[in-house]
Amino acid sequence: MVRYHLGWEDAEGRPAEASGKCLRPALCLLACEAVGGEARRALPAAAAVELTHNFSLVHDDIQDRDRERRHRPTVWSIWGDAQAINAGDALLALAHRVLLDLAEEGPPADTVMEAARLLDERTLEMVEGQVMDLEFETRPEVDMASYLDMVDRKTAALFDCSLRLGALAASAEPALVEGLGRFGRALGVAFQLRDDVLGVWGSEEQTGKPPAADIRRRKKSLPIVHALAAGQGETGERLRRVYAESELRDEQVSTVLTTLDELGSREYCERLVEERAGQALAHLDGLALRAPAAGELREVAVYLLSPEP
Protein backbone atom coordinates (compact mmCIF):
# COMPACT_ATOMS: atom_id res chain seq x y z
CA MET A 1 0.00 0.00 0.00
CA VAL A 2 2.85 2.39 0.79
CA ARG A 3 4.61 1.61 -2.49
CA TYR A 4 1.31 2.07 -4.33
CA HIS A 5 0.61 5.45 -2.71
CA LEU A 6 4.13 6.68 -3.44
CA GLY A 7 3.55 5.80 -7.09
CA TRP A 8 6.19 3.09 -7.37
CA GLU A 9 3.73 0.23 -8.01
CA ASP A 10 0.19 -0.30 -9.18
CA ALA A 11 -2.43 -1.96 -6.97
CA GLU A 12 -1.26 -5.41 -8.12
CA GLY A 13 2.37 -4.71 -7.20
CA ARG A 14 3.64 -4.14 -10.74
CA PRO A 15 6.20 -1.33 -11.31
CA ALA A 16 4.63 2.06 -12.00
CA GLU A 17 5.62 5.69 -12.35
CA ALA A 18 3.02 7.91 -10.69
CA SER A 19 4.84 9.82 -7.96
CA GLY A 20 4.04 13.37 -6.87
CA LYS A 21 6.06 16.50 -7.51
CA CYS A 22 8.33 16.05 -4.42
CA LEU A 23 8.19 19.81 -3.79
CA ARG A 24 9.10 19.67 -0.11
CA PRO A 25 12.18 17.44 -0.49
CA ALA A 26 13.36 19.60 -3.40
CA LEU A 27 13.17 22.66 -1.15
CA CYS A 28 15.05 20.78 1.57
CA LEU A 29 17.92 19.84 -0.75
CA LEU A 30 18.16 23.33 -2.24
CA ALA A 31 18.22 24.88 1.23
CA CYS A 32 21.17 22.67 2.14
CA GLU A 33 23.06 23.78 -0.96
CA ALA A 34 22.10 27.43 -0.48
CA VAL A 35 23.85 27.55 2.91
CA GLY A 36 26.98 25.85 1.59
CA GLY A 37 26.30 22.15 2.12
CA GLU A 38 26.25 19.22 -0.28
CA ALA A 39 22.74 18.14 -1.22
CA ARG A 40 23.41 14.48 -0.37
CA ARG A 41 23.85 15.44 3.31
CA ALA A 42 20.20 16.45 3.41
CA LEU A 43 18.82 13.35 1.65
CA PRO A 44 17.59 11.68 4.89
CA ALA A 45 15.84 14.90 5.91
CA ALA A 46 14.31 15.33 2.44
CA ALA A 47 13.02 11.74 2.48
CA ALA A 48 11.62 12.21 5.99
CA VAL A 49 9.70 15.32 4.94
CA GLU A 50 8.25 13.60 1.86
CA LEU A 51 7.19 10.54 3.88
CA THR A 52 5.56 12.79 6.49
CA HIS A 53 3.71 14.69 3.79
CA ASN A 54 2.45 11.43 2.28
CA PHE A 55 1.32 10.16 5.69
CA SER A 56 -0.91 13.24 5.85
CA LEU A 57 -2.24 12.67 2.31
CA VAL A 58 -3.28 9.06 2.99
CA HIS A 59 -5.14 10.11 6.14
CA ASP A 60 -6.62 13.23 4.52
CA ASP A 61 -8.05 11.13 1.70
CA ILE A 62 -9.86 8.95 4.24
CA GLN A 63 -11.21 11.96 6.12
CA ASP A 64 -12.28 13.84 2.99
CA ARG A 65 -13.56 10.67 1.23
CA ASP A 66 -11.50 11.52 -1.84
CA ARG A 67 -11.48 8.58 -4.24
CA GLU A 68 -8.73 9.90 -6.50
CA ARG A 69 -5.29 11.43 -6.03
CA ARG A 70 -2.84 12.10 -8.85
CA HIS A 71 -5.38 10.60 -11.27
CA ARG A 72 -5.31 7.22 -9.42
CA PRO A 73 -7.65 5.59 -6.90
CA THR A 74 -6.71 6.47 -3.31
CA VAL A 75 -5.43 3.86 -0.87
CA TRP A 76 -8.62 3.72 1.19
CA SER A 77 -10.80 3.35 -1.92
CA ILE A 78 -8.90 0.15 -2.81
CA TRP A 79 -8.01 -1.41 0.56
CA GLY A 80 -10.54 0.21 2.90
CA ASP A 81 -10.25 2.74 5.73
CA ALA A 82 -8.60 0.49 8.30
CA GLN A 83 -5.75 -0.63 6.07
CA ALA A 84 -5.26 2.90 4.75
CA ILE A 85 -4.84 4.11 8.34
CA ASN A 86 -2.15 1.46 8.76
CA ALA A 87 -0.43 2.65 5.57
CA GLY A 88 -0.44 6.26 6.79
CA ASP A 89 0.94 5.22 10.18
CA ALA A 90 3.69 3.24 8.45
CA LEU A 91 4.68 6.29 6.38
CA LEU A 92 5.04 8.41 9.51
CA ALA A 93 7.10 5.72 11.27
CA LEU A 94 9.34 5.47 8.19
CA ALA A 95 9.83 9.23 8.26
CA HIS A 96 11.13 9.10 11.83
CA ARG A 97 13.37 6.15 11.03
CA VAL A 98 14.99 7.64 7.95
CA LEU A 99 15.60 11.02 9.58
CA LEU A 100 18.02 9.35 11.99
CA ASP A 101 20.26 8.55 9.01
CA LEU A 102 21.29 12.20 9.13
CA ALA A 103 23.87 11.07 11.68
CA GLU A 104 25.66 9.15 8.91
CA GLU A 105 26.01 12.33 6.80
CA GLY A 106 28.11 14.34 9.25
CA PRO A 107 25.91 16.52 11.49
CA PRO A 108 26.61 16.07 15.22
CA ALA A 109 24.18 14.22 17.47
CA ASP A 110 22.65 17.39 18.91
CA THR A 111 21.83 18.62 15.39
CA VAL A 112 20.15 15.31 14.56
CA MET A 113 18.12 15.59 17.76
CA GLU A 114 17.15 19.16 16.85
CA ALA A 115 16.04 17.95 13.41
CA ALA A 116 13.92 15.20 15.00
CA ARG A 117 12.33 17.68 17.41
CA LEU A 118 11.60 20.07 14.56
CA LEU A 119 9.92 17.40 12.41
CA ASP A 120 7.72 16.33 15.34
CA GLU A 121 6.71 19.91 16.18
CA ARG A 122 5.83 20.77 12.60
CA THR A 123 3.92 17.49 12.19
CA LEU A 124 1.85 18.38 15.25
CA GLU A 125 1.13 21.78 13.71
CA MET A 126 0.07 20.11 10.47
CA VAL A 127 -2.33 17.81 12.33
CA GLU A 128 -3.74 20.76 14.26
CA GLY A 129 -4.38 22.50 10.94
CA GLN A 130 -6.22 19.45 9.62
CA VAL A 131 -8.37 19.35 12.74
CA MET A 132 -9.26 23.01 12.15
CA ASP A 133 -9.97 22.43 8.45
CA LEU A 134 -12.37 19.58 9.19
CA GLU A 135 -14.06 21.55 11.96
CA PHE A 136 -14.59 24.49 9.59
CA GLU A 137 -16.80 22.28 7.41
CA THR A 138 -19.48 22.21 10.12
CA ARG A 139 -19.25 25.91 11.02
CA PRO A 140 -21.72 28.30 9.38
CA GLU A 141 -19.06 31.05 9.27
CA VAL A 142 -15.25 31.12 9.22
CA ASP A 143 -13.45 34.45 9.53
CA MET A 144 -10.33 35.23 7.51
CA ALA A 145 -8.03 35.26 10.56
CA SER A 146 -9.09 31.73 11.53
CA TYR A 147 -8.70 30.53 7.96
CA LEU A 148 -5.16 31.93 7.66
CA ASP A 149 -4.24 30.41 11.04
CA MET A 150 -5.39 27.02 9.74
CA VAL A 151 -3.35 27.39 6.54
CA ASP A 152 -0.28 28.45 8.52
CA ARG A 153 -0.47 25.12 10.35
CA LYS A 154 -1.84 22.64 7.84
CA THR A 155 0.33 23.57 4.84
CA ALA A 156 2.95 26.15 5.76
CA ALA A 157 4.38 24.27 8.77
CA LEU A 158 5.85 21.50 6.63
CA PHE A 159 7.29 23.97 4.10
CA ASP A 160 8.96 25.72 7.04
CA CYS A 161 10.25 22.35 8.25
CA SER A 162 11.63 21.36 4.83
CA LEU A 163 13.86 24.42 4.54
CA ARG A 164 15.00 24.39 8.16
CA LEU A 165 15.94 20.71 7.93
CA GLY A 166 17.99 21.35 4.80
CA ALA A 167 19.89 24.13 6.54
CA LEU A 168 20.39 22.02 9.68
CA ALA A 169 21.82 19.18 7.57
CA ALA A 170 24.54 21.60 6.46
CA SER A 171 25.12 22.77 10.07
CA ALA A 172 24.14 26.32 9.06
CA GLU A 173 24.18 29.27 11.45
CA PRO A 174 20.94 29.62 13.49
CA ALA A 175 20.09 32.93 11.79
CA LEU A 176 20.09 31.26 8.36
CA VAL A 177 18.03 28.32 9.62
CA GLU A 178 15.50 30.77 11.03
CA GLY A 179 15.46 32.91 7.89
CA LEU A 180 14.89 29.95 5.60
CA GLY A 181 12.13 28.72 7.88
CA ARG A 182 10.38 32.09 7.65
CA PHE A 183 10.66 31.98 3.86
CA GLY A 184 9.22 28.46 3.87
CA ARG A 185 6.35 29.47 6.12
CA ALA A 186 5.42 32.41 3.88
CA LEU A 187 5.81 30.27 0.74
CA GLY A 188 3.57 27.58 2.20
CA VAL A 189 0.79 30.06 2.96
CA ALA A 190 0.95 31.54 -0.55
CA PHE A 191 1.03 28.04 -2.07
CA GLN A 192 -2.13 27.00 -0.18
CA LEU A 193 -3.96 30.19 -1.13
CA ARG A 194 -3.17 29.49 -4.76
CA ASP A 195 -4.23 25.85 -4.30
CA ASP A 196 -7.57 27.06 -2.93
CA VAL A 197 -8.08 29.09 -6.10
CA LEU A 198 -7.38 25.97 -8.19
CA GLY A 199 -9.71 23.93 -5.96
CA VAL A 200 -12.60 26.06 -7.21
CA TRP A 201 -11.57 27.24 -10.68
CA GLY A 202 -8.78 24.85 -11.69
CA SER A 203 -9.13 22.18 -14.36
CA GLU A 204 -9.00 18.46 -13.65
CA GLU A 205 -5.64 18.33 -15.46
CA GLN A 206 -4.23 20.85 -12.98
CA THR A 207 -5.62 19.40 -9.77
CA GLY A 208 -6.18 15.70 -10.45
CA LYS A 209 -9.71 16.17 -9.07
CA PRO A 210 -13.09 17.06 -10.62
CA PRO A 211 -13.75 20.76 -11.33
CA ALA A 212 -14.98 22.76 -8.31
CA ALA A 213 -14.02 19.82 -6.07
CA ASP A 214 -13.70 22.00 -2.96
CA ILE A 215 -17.22 23.35 -3.45
CA ARG A 216 -18.65 19.86 -3.86
CA ARG A 217 -17.08 18.95 -0.51
CA ARG A 218 -18.39 22.20 1.01
CA LYS A 219 -14.91 23.17 2.11
CA LYS A 220 -14.45 26.59 3.69
CA SER A 221 -11.52 27.40 1.40
CA LEU A 222 -10.32 30.94 0.66
CA PRO A 223 -12.93 31.83 -2.02
CA ILE A 224 -15.80 30.72 0.23
CA VAL A 225 -14.40 32.47 3.31
CA HIS A 226 -14.18 35.68 1.29
CA ALA A 227 -17.68 35.27 -0.15
CA LEU A 228 -19.25 34.56 3.25
CA ALA A 229 -17.66 37.75 4.61
CA ALA A 230 -18.48 39.88 1.56
CA GLY A 231 -21.96 38.56 0.84
CA GLN A 232 -24.78 40.82 2.00
CA GLY A 233 -28.54 40.38 1.82
CA GLU A 234 -29.95 37.77 -0.51
CA THR A 235 -26.55 37.00 -2.11
CA GLY A 236 -25.00 36.00 1.19
CA GLU A 237 -28.08 34.10 2.32
CA ARG A 238 -28.16 32.15 -0.94
CA LEU A 239 -24.57 30.98 -0.36
CA ARG A 240 -25.28 30.07 3.25
CA ARG A 241 -28.36 28.05 2.30
CA VAL A 242 -26.45 26.04 -0.27
CA TYR A 243 -23.56 25.36 2.10
CA ALA A 244 -26.02 24.17 4.76
CA GLU A 245 -26.95 21.21 2.54
CA SER A 246 -25.37 17.84 3.33
CA GLU A 247 -24.59 17.17 -0.34
CA LEU A 248 -24.45 19.53 -3.30
CA ARG A 249 -26.02 18.85 -6.69
CA ASP A 250 -24.57 20.20 -9.93
CA GLU A 251 -27.04 23.10 -10.04
CA GLN A 252 -26.09 24.11 -6.50
CA VAL A 253 -22.41 24.05 -7.42
CA SER A 254 -23.29 26.36 -10.32
CA THR A 255 -25.13 28.64 -7.90
CA VAL A 256 -22.04 28.91 -5.70
CA LEU A 257 -19.80 29.66 -8.69
CA THR A 258 -22.21 32.37 -9.86
CA THR A 259 -22.25 33.89 -6.36
CA LEU A 260 -18.46 33.93 -6.23
CA ASP A 261 -18.42 35.76 -9.56
CA GLU A 262 -20.93 38.33 -8.31
CA LEU A 263 -18.85 39.02 -5.20
CA GLY A 264 -15.50 39.27 -7.02
CA SER A 265 -14.05 36.42 -4.97
CA ARG A 266 -11.68 35.18 -7.66
CA GLU A 267 -10.13 38.62 -8.14
CA TYR A 268 -9.76 39.04 -4.37
CA CYS A 269 -8.12 35.63 -3.99
CA GLU A 270 -5.69 36.21 -6.85
CA ARG A 271 -4.66 39.58 -5.38
CA LEU A 272 -4.05 37.94 -2.01
CA VAL A 273 -1.95 35.17 -3.60
CA GLU A 274 0.15 37.80 -5.35
CA GLU A 275 0.60 39.77 -2.13
CA ARG A 276 1.65 36.71 -0.12
CA ALA A 277 3.94 35.52 -2.91
CA GLY A 278 5.72 38.87 -2.81
CA GLN A 279 6.18 38.54 0.94
CA ALA A 280 7.68 35.07 0.56
CA LEU A 281 10.15 36.20 -2.11
CA ALA A 282 11.11 39.23 -0.01
CA HIS A 283 12.04 36.87 2.85
CA LEU A 284 14.23 34.88 0.47
CA ASP A 285 15.89 37.90 -1.11
CA GLY A 286 16.88 39.17 2.34
CA LEU A 287 19.06 36.12 3.07
CA ALA A 288 22.79 35.78 2.34
CA LEU A 289 22.63 32.52 0.37
CA ARG A 290 24.97 30.91 -2.12
CA ALA A 291 24.50 30.69 -5.86
CA PRO A 292 23.26 28.88 -7.84
CA ALA A 293 21.03 27.22 -5.23
CA ALA A 294 19.63 30.58 -4.07
CA GLY A 295 18.48 31.35 -7.60
CA GLU A 296 17.01 27.87 -7.96
CA LEU A 297 15.06 28.33 -4.73
CA ARG A 298 13.59 31.50 -6.16
CA GLU A 299 12.73 29.76 -9.43
CA VAL A 300 10.94 26.97 -7.55
CA ALA A 301 8.97 29.51 -5.50
CA VAL A 302 7.92 31.44 -8.60
CA TYR A 303 6.91 28.19 -10.32
CA LEU A 304 4.84 27.05 -7.34
CA LEU A 305 2.96 30.34 -7.18
CA SER A 306 2.42 30.86 -10.90
CA PRO A 307 -1.20 30.80 -12.14
CA GLU A 308 -0.58 27.93 -14.59
CA PRO A 309 2.01 25.47 -13.15
pLDDT in tens, 185-201: 999 999 999 999 999 99
pLDDT value of residue 236: 82
Q: Does residue 145 carry a pLDDT above 80?
A: yes
Mean pLDDT value of segment 146-152 = 97
The answer on pLDDT for 238 being more than 70 is yes
The arrangement of secondary structure in 2-305, i.e. its CATH architecture, is Orthogonal Bundle (1.10)
Give the per-residue SS3 of the chain. CHHHHCCCECCCCCECCCCCCCHHHHHHHHHHHHCCCCHHHHHHHHHHHHHHHHHHHHHHHHHHCCCEECCEECHHHHHCHHHHHHHHHHHHHHHHHHHHHHHHHCCCHHHHHHHHHHHHHHHHHHHHHHHHHHHHCCCCCCCHHHHHHHHHHHCHHHHHHHHHHHHHHCCCCHHHHHHHHHHHHHHHHHHHHHHHHHHHHCCHHHHCCCCCHHHHCCCCCHHHHHHHHHCCHHHHHHHHHHHCCCCCCHHHHHHHHHHHHHHCHHHHHHHHHHHHHHHHHHHHHCCCCCCCHHHHHHHHHHHHHCCCC
Residue 207 has pLDDT above 80, yes or no: no
Q: What ranges do the domains of the chain cover?
A: 2-305
Q: What is the pLDDT of residue 309?
A: 44
Query: For residue 15, what pLDDT band results from cuts at 50, 70 and 90?
Result: very high
